[in-house]
Amino acid sequence: MSESKEVARSGPYVPPSVKAVVDLDGYLTPFAEEIAYRRKLADDWLAKLNGHEGSILKFADSYKVMGLHVQKDNSIRYREYAPNAVSACVIGDFNNWEHDKNVMNKEDFGFFDITIPPNSDGSPAIPHDSRVKVYFTLPSGEKIARIPPYITRATKPPKEYNNSTYEARFWNPTETHKFKNARPPLPESLRIYESHVGISTPEPRIGTYKEFTKNVLPIIRDLGYNTVQLMSIMEHAYYASFGYQVTSFFAASSRFGTPEDLKELIDTAHGMGLRVLLDVVHSHASKNVEDGLNMFDGTDYCYFHSGGKGNHDQWDSRLFNYGNYETLRFLLSNLKYYLEEFQFDGFRFDGVTSMLYLHHGVGSGFSGDYNEYLSPFAPVDKEALTYLMLANDLCTEYAKANHCGITTIAEDVSGYPTLCRPRIEGGVGFDYRLAMSLPDMWIKILKHQQDEDWDMEKICYTLANRRYKEKCVAYAESHDQALVGDKTLAFWLMDAEMYTNMSVLTPMTPVIDRGIQLHKMIRLITQVLGGEAYLNFEGNEFGHPEWLDFPRQGNGESYWYARRQFNLIKDDLLRYKFLYQFDKAMNTTEAKYTWLNCDPAYVSLKHGGDKVIVFERNNKIFIFNFHPTNSYAEYRVGVENSGVYRIILNSDAEEFGGHNRIDEEKSRFFTTDFRWNNRSNYIQVYIPSRVALVLALEGEIEEKSN
C-alpha cells in the first residue's frame, strides 16, 4: 500500500531525454513518454547516419556526389537515384541528344553512375551552360527524359520556342564568386526584412539579383533591419506561385540572374552587416513532370508518398516521403548546399503546419489543448516531425563546425508544443516560430470594428499569447497580407484616399491622418509586445499603395502589381516618407536600447474606456493611446524602477507625420514612490490621441549616448 502511494506521489515517469522541456513546462508531464518516443525516432536516424555515413554533415554533403560534377582531370561524374529505371544515359547538346551514348552503369539500391572523360583538348565534355537531361528506360520499355533532381541551373527556353518547360543547364563557369565577407554574428535582436528579388523594382518587370544588391540592400540597412529573408529563390517554373511550387530544388531561380549573382548579393549583404535567410520549401513540391521532381523515375513514389498520401489537394502539389532514406538525403543535402555554397545564414521553413499533421492543418482549428499535438493518437506525421528535427540537427552541427550562427524559423500556425526548444532538451529545435495569429487579429479589427470598439484587453492577450520560453517572430503583416485578394494595413486604413491625398501639398484628411497614426502604432506595439524577433515585408514599412499580384492569365500576364515602388519614399512631396522614417526610427531605437529577444513584457494597464495600453519590457516603458480623439494630461503610468524617464521614441513627432504635440526637450518624468497598477512607482505623462511613446531611464539614455 505504501509503495503504491509512493508511486502516485512521484507522478508520471519523465524520461531523462525530455526532462529539460518537461521541467520548463509542467503541462507536458502527462505526455513525457510520447515526447521521448518522438525524440527517439530522430535520434535513431542520427545514429543510423553516423553509422552509415559518418555524420549528418557528411550525409548532407551528398550534393557534392549526386548530380553532375567536374573532377580534377576535367572528367564529369554523374550519379543519380532512380530505382524504377532499367537503364539510363546522359543526353544533351554535348552529344546531340543521342540515346545510345554515355550509358550509365546501374548499381545497387537504385543508383546509376557514369564518368564522362574530357575532350581530347582536356576540356570538360559537357560545355558550360549547355542543356542536359537524363534518359531512362522503364520496366515497361517506355522511354522518359527528365531534369536531374540535383541540377544547379534551370532556365526557361527562349520565347521563340513557345515552350514554358524549364531546361536543365550544366553550370560550370570559368570564374566563380569568391566570398570576401564573413557571416555577421548572430544579432542581439532579429529584425527581418522579408523580400522577393523579382518584385524589388518600381518598373513592371522582373528585377535581378544585381539590382537588388545595388538598390535594395542599402535601403534595408538604412531602415535598421539586420536580416534579409529571401523568398522564391529555389527554381519554380510558375512565377505566380510566389516560389512555393518548386521544380528544381538545387537551382537558384534563373529569372533573377546567375548563381554567382546570388552569391554576390549575399556576400555584399554580409559586408553590410546583414544576415540572409532562405525561405525554404520542403513541405511540398511542384506536380510538374517535365521540369520537376514528380514521376522522376516513372513512379509517383521515388521521393514522394504514393497515391493520395503523396498529394496535397489544396495546394495541388506533391508531398515528400520523409521516412525514405534517399528523400532525407535529398532534402538535408539541399539545406547544406545553400549553407555551404551560398553562405545563407539560416532558413525560414515554409508550410511546417502542413508537414506536422496528417490532415495538413486543412479544416482543423487548434485550441491549444496539448492532447491535439502530443497524444499518441494525435494526427501528427511523425516522419515529417523527425525530418524537421534532423534539419535542425544539421543546422546546429553546421554552426558548430563553422563557428557561426544559423537561424531556423518555422511557419507554424498550430502552436505545436516544444517546436522552438533545442533538440538536446527534447524539443524540435527551431529558434523561432512565426506569430501567425497577429496579422489576422489586426485585419479583423480594421475590417469589422470602429476605433471606439477596439478591445485593449483582447489586443494585449493576442499579442502576448505564446508558449512559454518558445520564441516568436512578431509581424503585423507579411507577404500573405500583401497579395491580391487581401489588403495590407495601409490599404485597410487608407485605400479610399491613398491615390489622391498622400501629397503634403494637400490638407491632411481625417482618413489619411488616422491611417498614418495607426499604421505606426500597430507596427510598434506588434514589434514590442508580439515576440522576440520582428518581420516586415518589403514596402509595407512605408505603406506601399498597391497590392501584390504576379503575372497570370487572370490579369493578362501583367507585371503592374508585381513590383515595389521604392521611388515613393524618395519623393519629399509624398507622405510615404513619414512611415518610412518611423519604421527606421523604431528599428534603430530597438537596436540601441533593445527590447526584442528579452523576457516578455509586463502589461500594467489595458484601459478599455481610455483606449490606453501601458507595459514595460527590458526597463523601457511603452505607452499607447489608441483613442481617436481623447488626449490625456498628467496620465498616471505605473513603473517598476524609480528615477527620471525621458522619451526615446515619439510617434507624434513631425518627421513621422505626427502633430508635434509633445515638447520632448522639456519632457522629463519623475517617479513618485507610490504603488500604481501593480508597479512600485508611477509617473505622469501627457499622451495625445493616437500616439505611442517609448520612455527610458535618463541614466540609460546618457549611457547609450556616450
Residues 516-547: tens digit of each pLDDT:
999 999 999 999 999 999 999 999 999 998 88
542 touches 568 (CB < 8 A): yes
| 173 in a structural domain | no
**Does residue 612 share a domain with residue 589?**
no
In total, how many domains does the chain have?
A: 4
Cα 620 to Cα 524: distance, rounded to the nearest angstrom? 13
Radius of gyration of the chain (CA): 28
| 295 in a structural domain | no
* Distances 55 to 26, 37, 393 between C-alpha atoms, Å: 34, 22, 11
What contacts 93, CB < 8 A, 6 or more positions away?
127, 130, 131, 132
Cα 688 to Cα 342: distance, rounded to the nearest angstrom? 49
Look at residues 531, 559, 593 and tell me which one is the last residue of a structural domain: 593
256 touches 262 (CB < 8 A): yes
**Does residue 102 share a domain with residue 25?**
no
What contacts 59, CB < 8 A, 6 or more positions away?
49, 52, 53, 328, 329, 332, 333
Cα 459 to Cα 438: distance, rounded to the nearest angstrom? 9
Is residue 203 scored above 90 in pLDDT? yes
**Does residue 540 share a domain with residue 672?**
no
In terms of DSSP H, where are the helices of 350-478? 352-356, 371-374, 382-402, 437-448, 456-464
List, as one string, the DSSP characters of 72-102. TTS-EEEEEE-TT-SEEEEEEGGGTT-TTSS
DSSP letter, residue 177: P
Would you state the pLDDT for residue 364? Answer: 77
**Does residue 635 share a domain with residue 564?**
no
**Does residue 698 share a domain with residue 614?**
yes
Q: Which one is catalytic: 350, 383, 532, 652?
A: 350
Amino acid at 100: D
Amino acid at 260: E
Cα 466 to Cα 433: distance, rounded to the nearest angstrom? 10
Residues 83-112: tens digit of each pLDDT:
999 999 999 999 999 998 999 999 999 999
Is residue 8 scored above 50 in pLDDT? no
| 682 in a structural domain | yes
Look up the domain containing 685 and give its range.
602-705
pLDDT > 70 fraction of the chain, expressed in percent and rounded: 98
Would you state the pLDDT for residue 134? Answer: 98
What contacts 504, CB < 8 A, 6 or more positions away?
572, 573, 574, 575
Cα 251 to Cα 248: distance, rounded to the nearest angstrom? 6
| 290 in a structural domain | no
Torsion sign (Cα): 369, 375, 379, 380? positive
CATH classification of the domain holding 81: 2.60.40.10
**Does residue 439 share a domain with residue 564?**
yes
CATH classification of the domain holding 699: 2.60.40.1180
| 303 in a structural domain | no
| 439 in a structural domain | yes
User: How many CA atoms are closer than 13 Å to the CA of 114, on its beta-carbon side?
Assistant: 19
Residues 384-396: tens digit of each pLDDT:
999 999 999 999 9
Question: What's the average model confidence in pLDDT over 388-409?
Answer: 98
DSSP letter, residue 554: G
Torsion sign (Cα): 216, 219, 223, 227? positive
Residues 628-686: tens digit of each pLDDT:
999 999 999 999 999 999 999 999 999 999 999 999 999 999 999 999 999 999 999 99
524 touches 626 (CB < 8 A): no
List, as one string, the DSSP characters of 322-384. TTSHHHHHHHHHHHHHHHHHS---EEEETTHHHHHBTTTTTT------THHHHSTTS-B-HHH
**Does residue 133 share a domain with residue 217?**
no
Please give the grid coordinates belonging to residue 220.
534595408
Look at residues 593, 615, 638 and tell me which one is the last residue of a structural domain: 593
Q: Verify whether residue 455 is a known catalytic residue.
A: no
CA dihedral 280, 286, 289, 291 (to 10 degrees): -50
Question: What's the average model confidence in pLDDT over 2-18?
Answer: 65
| 648 in a structural domain | yes
Q: Which one is catalytic: 411, 431, 513, 546?
A: 411
Residues 335-386: tens digit of each pLDDT:
999 999 999 999 999 999 999 999 998 877 788 889 999 999 999 999 999 9
Grid coordinates 540609460 are at which residue? Answer: 700
CA 325 to chain centroid: 27
Please give the grid coordinates belonging to residue 54.
559518418
Please give the grid coordinates belonging to residue 549.
499580384
| Cβ neighbours of 596 (radius 10 Å) | 24
Please give the grid coordinates belonging to residue 106.
546501374
pLDDT band at 1 (very low <50, low <70, confident <90, very high): very low
Is residue 573 scored above 80 in pLDDT? yes
Give 339 or 705, the one with higher predicted confidence. Answer: 339
Please give the grid coordinates belonging to residue 596.
526584442
Is residue 3 scored above 70 in pLDDT? no
DSSP letter, residue 157: P
Burial 69-95 (b: 16+ CB within 10 A, else e): bbeeebebebbbbbeebebbbbbbebb
Query: Across the chain, how many H-helices and E-strands are there?
Result: 18, 29
**Does residue 195 share a domain with residue 146?**
no
Torsion sign (Cα): 363, 367, 371, 374? positive
**Does residue 416 share a domain with residue 485?**
yes
pLDDT band at 495 (very low <50, low <70, confident <90, very high): confident
Residues 42-84: tens digit of each pLDDT:
999 999 999 999 999 999 999 999 999 999 999 999 999 999 9
Q: Bridge-partner residues for 687, per DSSP?
A: 632
Q: Verify whether residue 350 is a known catalytic residue.
A: yes
CATH classification of the domain holding 538: 3.20.20.80
Print the SS3 string covering 565-627.
CHHHHHCCCECHHHHHHHHHHHHHHHHHHCCCCCCCCEEEEEECCCCEEEEEECCEEEEEECC
Look at residues 39, 60, 81 and tell me which one is the last residue of a structural domain: 60
List, as one string, the DSSP characters of 6-46. HHHHH-S---GGGHHHHHH-GGGGGGHHHHHHHHHHHHHHH
pLDDT band at 485 (very low <50, low <70, confident <90, very high): confident
| 398 in a structural domain | no
Residues 286-330: tens digit of each pLDDT:
999 999 999 999 999 999 999 999 999 999 999 999 999 999 999
Is residue 265 scored above 70 in pLDDT? yes
**Does residue 163 share a domain with residue 84?**
yes
DSSP letter, residue 561: T
**Does residue 152 share a domain with residue 8?**
no
Please give the grid coordinates belonging to residue 476.
503585423
**Does residue 623 share a domain with residue 582?**
no
pTM for this model (two decimals)? 0.96
pLDDT band at 6 (very low <50, low <70, confident <90, very high): very low
Question: What's the average model confidence in pLDDT over 157-185?
Answer: 92
Is residue 159 scored above 90 in pLDDT? no
Would you state the pLDDT for residue 7? Answer: 39
